[in-house]
Structures are given as C-alpha cells and as structure tokens.
Amino acid sequence: MSSFTLVVCLFAGTAMAADRGDIAVADFEGEDYAGWDAKGTAFGKHPARGAFPGQSYPDGFLGRGLVNSYMGGDAATGTLTSPPFRIERTYLNFLVGGGGFAGETCVDLLIDGRVVRTASGPNTEPGGSERLEWATWDVREFEGRAATLRIVDARTLNWGHICVDQFVQSDRKKAPEPATRKLVVGRRYLHIPVTRNARVRRVRVESDGKALHDFDVNLTDQGEAVDFWVFLDLEAVKGRDLTVKSMLPPASRALDQLKLDDDVPGAEGHYRERYRPQFHFTARRGWLNDPNGLVWEDGLFHLFFQHNPFGCGWGTTYWGHAVSPDLFHWTEWPLPLSPREYGDGVYSGSAVVDLPNTSGWGRPGHPAMVAAFTSVRRGECLAYSIDQGRSFVDYAGNPVVTHAGRDPRLLWHEPTRRWIMAVYDAITGHEGIAFHSSANLRAWKLEGRLDGFFECPDLFELPIEGHPGESRWVIYGGDGAYLVGRFDGREFTPETTEKRRVWYGDFYAGQTFSNVPGGRRIQVGWGHGISFPDMPFNQQMTVPVELTLRQSPDGPRLHANPVRELAGLRGVRHEITARMIEPGRDVRLDLGSDLIEVEAEATVDRAASLSLTVRGVPVELDGRTGTLRTGEIAAPLPIEGDRVSLHVLVDRGSIEVFGDDGRVGISRGVIPPADGKGLVISARGGPIRLTRLVAHELRSAWPMPTDRTSH
C-alpha cells in the first residue's frame, strides 16, 4: 500500500439556510438575443451554434447556443447588453472563454451605469483553448438592486474575441476553487485518470515548494468513467513529500482518484490496442507531433518528439523520448525536457553529440548530448546530458538566441569546424531560415538567411550517387519541400529557384538523424493524417526512410526508401511470378496479417493504369496522367523508361507508398476497413506486364514488456 497524507481544501460556497433555487438570467437558446442589444460587428443578430470558420470549437457551453464574438474574426468589435434585471441571489454564475484582456474581451456587471464586477476569458498568448469555464461573482451586496450585463469585444488582435453562456443567479458557487492533496512518494509513478470529455483542469505537482510539473489534463472527477490513465515518473523525488494542486468545482473529489504505484496500470494491454500502429512509432500514452532531436549514440537511435503526455490532443508541450537499436523496436524513457513554468512550452528542436567537446560539458568517455529547443517564453535554448540522454541539465546561459522564430536545427559544419543552427526566423517580416554559427554551442553569431521556408528546418549534406567526390547540401522546410545547393557555413546558395519534394500527403516536420554510422541520412516525419478513435494515444511518426541524392535531367534530386532494418520485421513471404494483368481480370492474393509490405515492378503503357488494393486501400499509378494516387492524395510520377516500381506499407493507421525507387513518397493516414483482406492487382486502360511482386506479412515491432518506461 502507498503511504498517503491527505489534505483537501475545498470551499464549497455558503448556501442560504433555505435553498431559494436558481434563477436563469440568460441561456442563449433562442433564435435571437431575447432583448439583448447588439452593437458593432462582433456578435451578429442571434446566438452562435458553436464555432465560426477559422475558430476551434468552444467546448463547455451548454445547450445549443452561446454568445461568440468571433463571428467576424478577431478583427470584429462590438458590445452585447442585456435588459435590466434584479439581483435576487448571493452569486451570479456564468460560463466564459476566449480572450483574457481586461476591458477589451470581458463581461461587465453594471449597477446604475457603473461597472461593479468584470471578468474575461483565460487566453492572452498564442495557443490556448476556446473552452468555456464557470465564473462566479459574489453579488450579495447588490441584492434587490437593478443591474445590467454587458459583453465587450473591443480587441482586434490575437484572442480578440470572447465566448459566454448561461448567466444564472444562485445561492451556490459554480466557479472552480483551490483543491490540494498531499502525498508521500513511496512508489515510482503517480497515476492520473483521464476522461476525454471531462473539463480541462490545470494540475500543479510540487515538491519542497517548487513545481515539478504544471500541466492541463481532462481530469476525471468522481462519478465519471475513466477512459485511460496517464502517469508521472517520480523516481527522482521518491521518499519526499508531494503536493498536488488544482482548481476544481465546489465539492469535487477529483484529486482523491490519484494513485501511487510501482507499476503502470494496464501495462499488459499497452501496444495491443485495436488501432495501435505496429511498426510506426506512437507514444505509449498521449499526443505526439514533430520529431525532435533525432540522434544516434553508442548503438541507440534516440527519437525525441513533441509530446503532451497527459491527453490525446495538443496541449502542454514536453519532449518525449524513445530509443531503439534498429529504428522499429522502441523503448520509451522518462520525459527529458519539461516546461519551466505553466505556459512556457518546450517546442521543437534538435540534438547532437558534441564529440569534440567544444562546449566543455562532456566528461572523459561521456560526450555531451546537446538538445536545442524553443522555449515559448525565452527563445532558443540548450540543455545537455552526459548520461546518454537519460537526464538533461538546462544551460544556465539560456536563451542563446532570441528572435521572432522557433525550431532550431543543430549540425556540425566540418569545413569551418563550427556548429550551425538553422532556425525558422521571421525577424525581417519574411518567413525564412536563419543561419547562426558557434565554436562552442554557447555563444552564437548570425551569419545569413534564406527566405521562403516556414518552421521545422533541416539542413544536411549528401553525396551524389554515382558521382564520386561530388556532394550537395539540402535544406528542408516543415512542409517537406526542399532545395538543393551549396552551403559555406554562412549562406545557402540554391541551384534552382523552384522547390522540390519527395513527400506528399500526411507528412510534416521531417528531421534526419545526426551522427549515424556510415554517413546514412535517415529521416522520420510526423504522420499527422489520422486521429485514432477512442485510443489513449494520438498521432504517429512516419516510417523511417533513408535519403539519397541522385542525378536527374534537372539536377540532383532526393529519393526516399524505407530503411533496410524493416526487413527484420518480415514474416511470411508471398510472391507472384511474372505475368500479364488484363483489364477486368484481377489477380488476388490472400494474406494472413493486417501488417503488409508489397514490392512490385511492372511495365506500364502510358495509356494504362496499375492498381494495387492492399487491405481494401487502393493505390493507383495512372500512366496517362503520370500520377501516383491513394485516396485523395496524389503525387506526380511520370513514367520514365519501360519499368516502374511501387513499394507499399500498410499499418493499422496508415498507408505509405514509394514510387519509382523512392522518387516520390506518399503518407496517408487511414484506418483500413475491417473487412479489407489481402491484395488485389488490377489493370485499367490496357494490359500491364507485372514483372515481379513480393508481399510480406510483417510482425509487430512491439515486444510488449510489462514496463517500457524504465531505462
């Protein structure tokens, strides 16, 4: 049993001796504002029915209607004023969300034309949620007097709107109030229950008066069903006192449901969930997006990634961390980078191993692994580890670069023997990538800039295959578009003005591993095209690919092919011998797995099309239009010569297609239909000569131990 000391401070609000019942002032359920006076352009002529175009959904309002001043976007302004009403209860409760700017995005209570109470939403910085939360005014001093409500939108910039609903007079409070629970950490993990539709609560975990974690979570309250559990690793503070704080509704017992344990609940079912991808990386629990800090050291590939460990949507941003010997069998390690304070998210970045110890942070036999990341409130920051990424120290000199940008990519530039930081930058008003240099990773100098790229840059050098001694530099943007050129450590000089791309579809923020033996350039991206229904995790990484640079009629071009390590997952092999595929005479192949790899080569006439339907998901190469397509995603692939190749991977949440030996790649988030079985090969518009087809049933990459967080 765990050792607990419990203190709960909940101030439920004083009820009158006889409950007089609530009085609804306004619920905004009608077809108009029912006597409220709307002025300006922000509120329209009737209540909203949810979100407006370009707005996230305002969760938390009741019924079908609410006041939402985003009708004309953040630029619209106006007021909405109620008819007079009489104050007859102790409290006035209402739901409010949106901008948090006093006097600009606010709700006012007026007595005799004077503002006596005011409130606004929670948001003042980019990000945030549109969710409405209860607010309460104590109005007992005005009981019996006439009052008016005024909703104000006077702001035209970010978060220049407000959402309001359900004005209710009551003798009971509805607004959240401080709740505290004290624990003695006798076990490794603190388990936190999550209910998907529960209100988002801010939870602060402290030890010795200092915050260890401060995050948002859909915290399960008493009586709500638990959808899944998330956890915090408290090994570093084992044996110490812990305080957990939150703002909760009066009489809530949500903190009572927190648990301490040495095991992770339900660990035997992790990675076995119905929709869990089996050879694409997903976080054990929670949300992931951009891959960060891809680096190889001492036999392990390190995958750091943007991570909300406390929910299945984008939220409080940490870095997650997983390691693998082969890019497929991953083990999650404890969270490496956490926000210093609430709202100061740890955004995207990169990592390198400082083998020459230019920083001085390394120790004999223990080179420093250095992570560069964007701290939302500080700028570009560094943290370093001398235990192979198991723990990181925040550099005392942070931030090392301050500018209007984010997402620093570190690399070593051998010709100048300096470190380079390629970082998204908008300081001149034009989006682009800035290049900073440093001899020691601590002090940085701005060198040059390349316009025309947006966030999550990557920069690397590759040899040109078949041309010994020739190489080029490649610069990548978050959207997967790239330029080939030359880089001297200060300026990038493109060889063409037009960007190219390998990837199409659900691929974003691709980054390559640093320090890989043999000079291999291995890339992983965020496969953002699918949300896994009713799962305790969300989003996946794309399959690791090896990038090569090959000469073409219009200059060097990137090719991407799944890494050779994928072969280690191959199981039963199926092969179709060379044959003609006639229109209307499909060839079918039964497969005994839902994890499939198909490699096909064919001769396709420019008037014909080749189709592979894998587990019910179609892939088509149209010879007439020179287009490779799966679903709504298409990539240009003109047929060159007399042979084409397709390489198809199907997992539980995606299909990836590589055409013409990796000249183009498509990533598409899709859950294959449950009744989609096997493989169907078909032709349209003319016969296809299939010269080779091999299909592999793939094994799961998850070894599924009882505890994958330990290291």
Give CA–CA dist 301/324, Å, rounded.
Answer: 5
Terminal CA-to-CA distance of the chain, rounded, Å? 25
CA dihedral 436, 439, 440, 444 (to 10 degrees): -30
Amino acid at 293: G
Rounded-to-integer distance, Cα 310 and Cα 684, Å: 49
Rounded-to-integer distance, Cα 255 and Cα 242, Å? 13
Contact 216, 204 (CB under 8 A): no
Residues forming the active site: 290
Dihedral angle, C-alpha 668, 674, 675, 681, nearest 10 °:
20
Residue 267 DSSP code = G
d(CA 200, CA 215): 10
Between CA 186 and CA 404 the distance in angstroms is 44
Q: Say if residue 671 is exposed, middle or buried (CB neighbours under 10 Å; 0-12, 13-18, 19+).
A: middle
Whole-number Å distance between alpha carbons of 574 and 695: 5
Q: How many residues does the chain have?
A: 711
In the chain, the amino acid numbered 516 is V
CB 504 within 8 A of CB 635: yes
Q: How far apart are CA 268 and CA 702, in angstroms?
A: 12
Which residues pair with residue 467 across a beta bridge?
Answer: none
Minimal CA–CA distance to 681: which of 671, 673, 670, 693? 693
Identify the residue whose tokens are 């029912």.
Answer: 34
Rounded Cα–Cα distance for residues 115 and 102 (Å): 12
Closest CA to 621 of 569, 579, 589, 666: 666
DSSP letters, 597-615, are EEEEEEEE-TT-EEEEEET
d(CA 369, CA 375): 18
Residue 534 neighbours by CB under 8 Å, 6+ apart: 227
Pairing of strands 596-604, 688-698: antiparallel
Residue pair 684/608 in contact (Cβ under 8 Å)? The answer is yes
Torsion of CA 108, 110, 116, 118, to 10 degrees: 0
The first and second tokens of residue 288, run together, are: 């992931």
Tokens of 492: 């990038």
Chain mean position to CA 460? 24
Q: How far apart are CA 343 and CA 325, in angstroms?
A: 35
Tell me the three state secondary structure of residue 89.
coil
